[in-house]
Amino acid sequence: MDKKEQIRLVIALVLSAIVIFGWQYLTAPTAEEQAEMARKAAVAEQKTAALTKQNDAATESAATPVADFIPTAGTPVTVETPLYTATFNSQGGVLKKFTLKNYRETTEKDSPNVDLVGEKAFAKGPLGLILTKNSKEIHTWRHGEWSFTGSDISVSETDGTKTLTFTGQSAGFRIERTLTFHADSYLIEEASTVTNLSATGVEGSVSYTAAAKSMSAEDDRYNQTRIVYLTKDTREEMSDRDDLKEEGMSASADLKWGSIESNYFLFAVIPNGEDASLSAGVQDDVFRMAVTEDATFMPNVAKTIKASYFIGATDRAMLAKMPNDLADTVNFGFFDVLAKPLLIGLNFFYDYVGNYGIAIILLTLVIKLIFWPLSHKSYSSMEKMKKLQPMVAKLREKYADDKQKLNQETMALYKTYKVNPMGGCLPMLLQIPVFFGLYKALLGAIELRHAPFIQHVPFTDLPWLVDLSAKDPYYVTPLIMGATMFLQQKMTPTAGDPTQQKIMLLMPVVFTFMFLQFPSGLVVYWMFNNLLSIGQQMMIARSGKKSATQNA
């Protein structure tokens, strides 16, 4: 080896050492991480010691066995409340049907009531209990024997609450599930008592499950069925069915609730513990979800774990009383801060007039009054622009071949007469957030689902505007809205050249096309707002003419 090769070898060794030791230094656990690892190791050691001790104790106390279990055949069990009818199967206590009494599938009078489970979902075992033993899942409604000695129950408002108890035995566990039903809400509370019948302690878990058919049409872009969860740190949702089928969705810990939901209905699982996790997905067109809590099952020791379900409509007042911030299931996204106050205002007017269409018109009037001073200033500025149009036309002729000079002279003209060419756009820009807030509110508020404005086309039996959360079936209101927008555009002078003016006139066409599919309640709002704006513009124009006549 010559001298150059020796030098290369030394350099290679030094670089290798830097990489190896540098990587170890950068990836080594911090002091806090080392402490946490030590704590977890100590906890694991304590659990192992406890299990061993219980094993010994169990061996010594084997003379006190659990009573014999006598299974019965699975039978349907019905729960009636003022809000719903729930049908369970006693084999595991799984939910077969959950029919809402106050909500129908469509606006037809004889339309069936909404069932939030469905036949395909029943096959997936909604509300079934999954136990985990040595990393093996046990679907207790499939791999177990159950007994039920009660009967159908009816929970009235005077009763308050009533309970059902299903008892089973599966994979060496004795299980007792007690479900509590409330007359005034969709909340169902569960207390599961699990007894390990073997002589060996087990580290495992208990999973509370939900399964539901799609709560909306698969191609409904405005009302998608989705899976949502809330932890201490974040709220996540996923609605893409392909992603839910292929990848699923999960939350590793600190779960507050998980839900299968649409804009109007909800099937949520609420853990009682603070370290629950979630896994969810779509299987055979059924939305499935499991909320899991780790548990240690000592031999012959009954362990009780609690959880709750909320199955019903997204009634915000009811959700506000639920635990673990379940009210956050109703979230209007970025415009939540506007949508909820608008709904309060809408319901305020509804309480007086009893018709959400009229309530929307009254709310539009209030919003218009709030923006009235700003609109007045803007429309006054536009009237001034209209008077300057002859001078602007002369400038266009003079600088037809020099656009830069034309723009400079036009802006100088506006500055001289203190006119803001963008003033006409400002009221519309400020109303856009209100528009989106109302849009989200109309699409997501359960009280507006199937809320009518006008029951029939005048002088006919044809239903029309019977659901303000759905589009106008005959597109009458979007066309009127487009016409009012076109008229408003014609009344508004523009600062651009003729080509820009033509483009601006295309806007009503574009908006009309967009509004064809929007909820009719939103179209009513925009249409009535346009009519009020046209009236305001006409008032300002007349006032300007009157002042000009008096000054002449």
Q: Is the pLDDT of residue 338 over 60?
A: yes
Task: Please state the rounded mean pLDDT for residues 363-388.
Answer: 81
Please state, in angstroms and rounded to a whole number, the distance separating the CA atoms of residues 71 and 317: 42
Please state, in angstroms and rounded to a whole number, the distance separating the CA atoms of residues 37 and 40: 5
Q: Is 450 left (phi over 0), alpha (psi -120 to 50) or beta?
A: left
Per-residue model confidence (pLDDT) at position 176: 95
Q: Is the pLDDT of residue 264 over 90?
A: yes
Task: Please state the rounded mean pLDDT for residues 296-324.
Answer: 94
Return the higher-pLDDT residue of 481 and 423: 481
Task: Please state the rounded mean pLDDT for residues 334-346.
Answer: 90
Per-residue model confidence (pLDDT) at position 493: 64
Q: CA 124, 129, 135 angle in degrees (round to 5)?
A: 100
Per-residue model confidence (pLDDT) at position 15: 53
Please state, in angstroms and rounded to a whole number, the distance separating the CA atoms of residues 132 and 279: 14
Residue closest to 544 by CA, chosen among 422, 372, 418, 382: 382
**What does the pLDDT look like over 157-175, one tens digit per residue?**
999 999 999 999 998 999 9
Residue 283 structure tokens: 């299987």
**What does the pLDDT look like over 501-512, one tens digit per residue?**
677 778 888 889
**What does the pLDDT look like over 216-248, one tens digit per residue?**
888 887 889 999 999 998 999 999 999 999 999
Contacts of residues 105-114 at CB distance under 8 Å and 24 or more positions apart, as own/partner, are: 106/450, 107/450, 107/452, 107/463, 107/466, 107/467, 114/265
Per-residue model confidence (pLDDT) at position 44: 43
Residue closest to 469 by CA, chosen among 522, 525, 528: 522
- Cα–chain-centroid distance for residue 4? 69
CA atoms within 13 A on the CB side of 145: 7
Per-residue model confidence (pLDDT) at position 64: 46
Tell me the residue type at 488: Q
Per-residue model confidence (pLDDT) at position 273: 87
**What does the pLDDT look like over 65-76, one tens digit per residue?**
556 666 667 899
Least confidently predicted of 118-132, 195-209, 304-318, 495-509: 495-509
**What does the pLDDT look like over 111-133, one tens digit per residue?**
999 999 988 899 899 999 999 98
Per-residue model confidence (pLDDT) at position 379: 75
Please state, in angstroms and rounded to a whole number, the distance separating the CA atoms of residues 381 and 89: 71
Residue 52's pLDDT band (cuts 50, 70, 90) = very low
Enumerate the β-bridge partners of residue 257.
Answer: 230
Please state, in angstroms and rounded to a whole number, the distance separating the CA atoms of residues 70 and 335: 56
Indicate the pTM of the whole model: 0.78
Per-residue model confidence (pLDDT) at position 459: 85
Residue 498's pLDDT band (cuts 50, 70, 90) = low
